[in-house]
């Protein structure tokens, strides 16, 4: 394996689960998700990506994707269960999302998590050239920065947390809190979606490690780690180009026709996860139907719930509850050929998503807690017509940037109902003003701007950022095959 000056380390490789006819690898796209976010940055940039290829057993041989080299990491069945399904997604994920679901503390999972993190660190050390920059991604790999520093002190190490980072009173519940915190602080720069998260880790470092902290730095045991907020974004030019493609525009018109040409279409696109607020949203919509504020013939709701972590029991239970509630609502309020809710538990490719975004009159993005939520940004980028309303949870990271959305507390079902009605009844001029302001913000703060800001903060010189592709106002977007579920990105 050749060595690289820029190495990305993430839980998953950015690969489509389906091989092309000639056996070539293709970039993996999905609604939201890490691979989708990094697509515009890394596909044309000389770099190496270290990650799990999916499946269990020995790591397969991988072809490059353009100038991106792939270094697969293997997982056994037991490791997948303990590291990924266990500590990462049954302990850290719920804890980091305000304990919406009770975290599970299983002592056996920790050792598996530590062992797998060491394997990722070893792989990164192997492929990084002298003095390279290694960019470690997200909560699955919290121990890798410190492990990598022990192996290769010559490296420049960045760590970015895509999910929320909890307040000290929640993090303190972790039985292995000190080891996890030390692992993260092995980086030179720890980045978060929001400033509050950087404040949270500083408080923890002071309390648990006796560190000296400032607004943007943590000094512990003679070494200073910088921290900061770098809100992740999307490839705005790519989404605009996709949304304007004639076949996508035609697909949007056909979708509207297939839905019965209703006056209003409400759309939600989520990974099937208990943090996404799907049950609260269904309750609100059901009560609007019950009280006569919404009529089935005039208004239709489309809920896309992409399958996710189906081996984890809590996710299977959630799917059963949601499917039962959708069935109840359709049974009570639907008509023959006119369901109240069109529920789709399947993955969609990006052209289908762009068509759905253009079909929606109201995009409903109401997670109970979310690090960012890129679906909200994709919807705004896709709507160059200036139409459409975005109802957005206050607890999504994107709410700090998309201030012109109809912001709502998703825990407040009555408030959610009122906000949905406001969005549905808003004047076209009001909607256009809101969407124009949000699109202007996204144009200035796209995925390339995010990567440049982070990498420049990491190396202080701008040389890393110079490796990134130049700005391109619009990109031609080829037709793509269906993407796999975004849950497997995380």
Question: So which residues are the catalytic ones?
Answer: 162, 370
Which residues lie across from 136 on neighbouring strands? 9, 159
Q: Are 407 and 392 in contact (CB under 8 A)?
A: yes
The pair of structure tokens assigned to 426 is 């808003």
DSSP state of 97: T
DSSP string, 357-397: HHH-SEEEE--SSBS--HHHHHHHHH-TTS--EEEEETTBG
For the stretch 463-478, what's the b/e string if a residue is b when 16 or more beta carbons lie within 10 angstroms of its beta carbon?
ebbebbeeeeeeeebe
CA 8, CA 180: separation in Å to the nearest integer? 20
Nearest residue to 388 (alpha-carbon basis) of 249, 264, 294: 264
Q: How far is CA 187 from CA 122, 136, 236, in A?
A: 16, 9, 29
The pair of structure tokens assigned to 81 is 């269960």
Q: Are 236 and 443 in contact (CB under 8 A)?
A: yes
Q: Rounded to the nearest 5°, which phi and psi values hold at 38?
A: -90, 0
Q: Are 6 and 41 in contact (CB under 8 A)?
A: no
Which residues lie across from 268 on neighbouring strands? 303
* Pairing assessment for the beta strands 264-271 and 299-306 based on DSSP bridges: parallel
Count of all residues that appear for the chain in the document: 490
Residue listed under structure tokens 């679906």:
375
SS3 for 416?
helix
Nearest residue to 116 (alpha-carbon basis) of 155, 158, 151, 86: 86
DSSP state of 338: B
CA 221, CA 224: separation in Å to the nearest integer? 8
Q: Are 150 and 118 in contact (CB under 8 A)?
A: no
Q: Are 389 and 363 in contact (CB under 8 A)?
A: yes
Q: Are 198 and 189 in contact (CB under 8 A)?
A: no
């Amino acid at each position: 394996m050749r060595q690289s000056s820029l190495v990305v380390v993430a839980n998953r490789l950015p690969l489509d689960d389906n091989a092309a006819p000639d056996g070539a690898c293709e970039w993996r796209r999905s609604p939201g998700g890490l691979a989708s976010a990094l697509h515009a940055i890394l596909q044309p940039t000389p770099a190496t990506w270290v990650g799990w290829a999916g499946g269990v057993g020995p790591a397969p041989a991988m072809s490059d994707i353009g100038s991106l080299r792939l270094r697969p990491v293997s997982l056994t069945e037991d490791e997948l269960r303990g590291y990924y399904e266990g500590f990462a997604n049954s302990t850290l994920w719920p804890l980091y999302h305000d304990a919406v679901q009770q975290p599970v503390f299983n002592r056996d999972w920790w050792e598996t998590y530590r062992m797998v993190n060491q394997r990722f660190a070893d792989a990164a050390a192997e492929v990084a050239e002298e003095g390279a920059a290694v960019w470690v991604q997200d909560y699955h790999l919290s121990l890798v920065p410190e492990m990598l520093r022990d192996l290769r002190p010559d490296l420049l190490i960045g760590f970015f947390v895509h999910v929320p980072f909890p307040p000290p009173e929640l993090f303190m519940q972790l039985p292995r809190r000190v080891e996890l915190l030390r692992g993260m602080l092995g980086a030179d720069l720890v980045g978060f979606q929001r400033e509050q998260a950087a404040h949270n880790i500083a408080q923890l470092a002071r309390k648990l490690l006796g560190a000296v902290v400032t607004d943007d730095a943590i000094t512990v045991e003679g070494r200073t780690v910088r921290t900061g907020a770098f809100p992740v974004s999307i490839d705005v030019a790519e989404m605009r180009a996709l949304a304007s493609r004639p076949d996508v525009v035609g697909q949007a018109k056909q979708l509207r026709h297939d839905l019965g040409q209703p006056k209003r279409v409400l759309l939600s696109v989520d990974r099937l996860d208990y943090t996404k607020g799907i049950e609260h949203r269904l309750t609100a919509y059901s009560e609007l139907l019950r009280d006569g504020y919404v009529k089935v013939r005039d208004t239709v709701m489309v809920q896309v719930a992409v399958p996710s972590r189906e081996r984890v029991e809590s996710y299977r239970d959630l799917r059963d509850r949601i499917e039962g509630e959708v069935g109840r609502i359709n049974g009570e309020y639907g008509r023959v050929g006119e369901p109240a809710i069109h529920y789709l538990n399947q993955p969609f490719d990006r052209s289908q998503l762009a068509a759905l975004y253009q079909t929606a009159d109201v995009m409903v993005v109401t997670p109970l807690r979310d690090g960012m939520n890129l679906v909200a940004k994709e919807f705004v980028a896709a709507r160059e017509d200036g139409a459409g309303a975005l109802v957005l949870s206050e607890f999504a990271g994107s709410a700090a940037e998309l201030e012109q959305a109809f912001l709502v507390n998703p825990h407040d079902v009555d408030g959610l109902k009122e906000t949905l009605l406001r969005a549905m009844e808003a004047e076209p001029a009001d909607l256009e003003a809101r969407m124009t302001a949000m699109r202007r913000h996204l144009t200035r703060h796209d995925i390339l701007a995010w990567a440049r800001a982070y990498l420049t903060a990491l190396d202080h010189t701008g040389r890393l950022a110079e490796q990134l592709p130049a700005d391109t106002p619009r990109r031609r977007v080829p037709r793509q095959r269906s993407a796999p579920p975004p849950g497997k990105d995380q």
